[in-house]
Chains A and B, each alone.
Chain A
């Protein structure tokens, strides 16, 4: 099975900061990587798919990059509504998908 490792597990930042979250796959997943945002008590929301394509309606301050095994999610200027938990997910292996363990983004 492909393992997904996110770092950091938690992060404190301020409104206006630029933030980067990293996701590493245990083997090559090309660009079959998605990012989700989840707020407490709510279902996850798709932010980015194909490693770098912004899902419809997602603000342009979110961006994704990477291919192969190393990926990043960047928020260029944090807004109050961005404080949440972020998950990466691989879909290279259609046999079994895998989520990362999550990164909790908190207000400093």
Chain B
């Protein structure tokens, strides 16, 4: 079955760069139609889509955060990495990675459990 697990620091200082890793199993990121995305959720707030990367290495980013985000994949390691530069306390929240397939109208059908990131000095 498909599983995804997020990992990274729990505490980051303002202005630093945040690096999160999504390690997955049960699918290949080389399969046509597959993408892995990142979504975050500030405490007690709504979900916010950040970015995703397709099997063919096509990458898409949130318009408002595009200048600060970078997403890469390593299909041999079954990992997707998201980096966010110049973090601020407003970036505090739970970060999820999720699997997407274009055959399901690009919906996120499997999610990781999330990792809580706090930005504070």
Interfacial residues, chain A to chain B (CB-CB below 8 A): 1, 31-34, 36, 38, 42-46, 49-51, 53, 55, 87, 89, 91, 94-102
- Contact: B49 with A98, CB < 8 Å? yes
**Partner of B46 from A34, A45, A50, A100 at Cβ < 8 Å:** A100
**Partner of B105 from A32, A36, A38, A44 at Cβ < 8 Å:** A32
**Partner of A89 from B60, B62, B96, B107 at Cβ < 8 Å:** B107
Inter-chain contact total with CB atoms closer than 8 Å: 70
Residue numbers in A under 8 Å from B114 (CB-CB):
43
Given contacts A33-B105, A43-B96, A46-B108, 11 further A-B contacts (CB under 8 A): A1-B63, A32-B105, A32-B106, A38-B47, A45-B111, A46-B107, A53-B105, A55-B104, A96-B49, A97-B106, A102-B47
Residue numbers in A under 8 Å from B96 (CB-CB):
43-44
Residue numbers in A under 8 Å from B113 (CB-CB):
42-43
Residue numbers in A under 8 Å from B109 (CB-CB):
46, 49, 55
Residue of B nearest to A45 (CB): B111
Contact residues of B: prevailing secondary structure: strand
CB distance from A24 to the nearest CB of B (A): 15
Contact with A along B39-82 (1 / 0, CB 8 A): 10000001111001000000011110000000000000000000
Residue numbers in A under 8 Å from B111 (CB-CB):
43-45
- Contact: A50 with B105, CB < 8 Å? yes
